[in-house]
Structure 1
């Protein structure tokens, strides 16, 4: 992931093309889950309590779905389109659990471009190994040279 002090130039809408893709990878740690629970105030025991989580359909602790979704936000805000992007809409489906220790690959791909309105539709997805754990679509207002 990028250091918070790193300034990256956005990919301007004029330089985008359908199919352009960016990604990041992150191992989800127990610490990440604890921090997300603290910030979000979502302390559901399926995320935090081994004994409780083992009795659920998941058979163990899982990360918050929105923690996984936040990795999509990181790709959009830092890489594609990057700094200056305004999130307008995001739809998503959670397809499989993410567990502590999983390596999540968050990917964003340009699906369509509306130059006149400076809007870009992005396919968004997260994978653990070859398993798609999240799929969705985002609409963003992309930075423009004009």
Structure 2
């Protein structure tokens, strides 16, 4: 029986509703969020994460988020995941970013969140380029249960 995965499910459910406070309820006050795959500094602290999420929220069309997880594994206080962030920007571009990530927990709250993805895919799709056949194949998988 997974212990940590339900926390990620709660985060995903909150973010699909664009519920920033619902996401923040699942993280520690001193969260370290490495959401840029290393090309920008980590977001540190719940207040900074709130600002980042609000900025993301206004850029994503309401109801368009279909973030999903394909595989995950738990080990002690870590959850490893593979999935896709998929949404439509308010400017109309459809974006699908395959990624892998790791969540470190303190109790049942996320204390560090690391994401790994190809920033070129993100930039291309945000610029309006179509989804490549390779990305389509990568994200056309059953979701984790």
| Interval containing the TM-score (normalised by the shorter chain) | 0.3 to 0.5
Question: Structure 1-normalised TM-score?
Answer: 0.32
Question: Structure 2-normalised TM-score?
Answer: 0.32
Greater RCO, CA 8 A, separation 6+: 1
Larger helix fraction of residues: 2
Larger Rg: 1
